Amino acid sequence: MRVLVTAGPTHEPIDPVRFIGNRSSGKMGIAIAETFAEQGHEVILVKGPTNISTSKTNIATIEVETAAQMFDACKQYFSDCDVVIFAAAVADYTPKHVSDLKIKKNEAQFSIELVKTKDIAAVLCAEKKANQTCVGFALETNNEATNAAEKLKKKNLDCIVLNSMRDKGAGFGVDTNKVTIMGHNGDYIV
């Protein structure tokens, strides 16, 4: 099979030295990519900015920084893949204007106007072929099952992996995790 996996965060620039991002380490997505590669599948890993890398030489790694770059890379490979795993923690918003120069701390208050980024999974899975399988991830802090089920349907995914920040051992940058894999109609796949 040909497998596309996204991993890590995206960083949305504010100016040349600052960005909006999240705490994703990329460990989960990279581990998934390595597992598919170990099973002999052709793997394309689209990886946001993270210090974690893969030692597998049979994984084609594409490094990106922003949500827009991740979307472009995924769009390039999506239609030719049998399985797509959307494990990256893509920024939901990006600054409307990016300063060319470092913004100085002159004002008592400072506002940044944000615009929505493209929902990579939703846009690409709207064009999903019958022979493609798409898996999404949902990191939630409240109403976990309800929010994950909504994402599953809204994004036209085949299943979704729910991470709850309330679960002990779950979270960012850890070697342990607890997930719930949900199918359609709220079915749990375990």
Cα dihedral 149, 155, 161, 162 sign = negative
Tell me which residue of 144, 139, 137, 148 sits closest to 184, measured CA to CA. 148
**Distance (Å, whole) CA 153 – CA 34:** 28
Question: Under DSSP, is residue 128 helix (H, G, I), strand (E, B) or coil?
Answer: coil
Question: Under DSSP, is residue 61 helix (H, G, I), strand (E, B) or coil?
Answer: strand
CA atoms within 13 A on the CB side of 180: 20
Asked if 22 is an active-site residue, the reply is: yes
**Distance (Å, whole) CA 1 – CA 41:** 5
Q: Single out the catalytic residue among 22, 147, 156, 177.
A: 22
Question: Under DSSP, is residue 132 helix (H, G, I), strand (E, B) or coil?
Answer: coil
**Distance (Å, whole) CA 95 – CA 118:** 13
- Give the Cβ contact number of residue 81 at 10 Å: 22
The whole-angstrom distance between residue 139's C-alpha and the CA centroid of its chain comes to 10
Q: Would you name the residues annotated as active-site residues?
A: 22
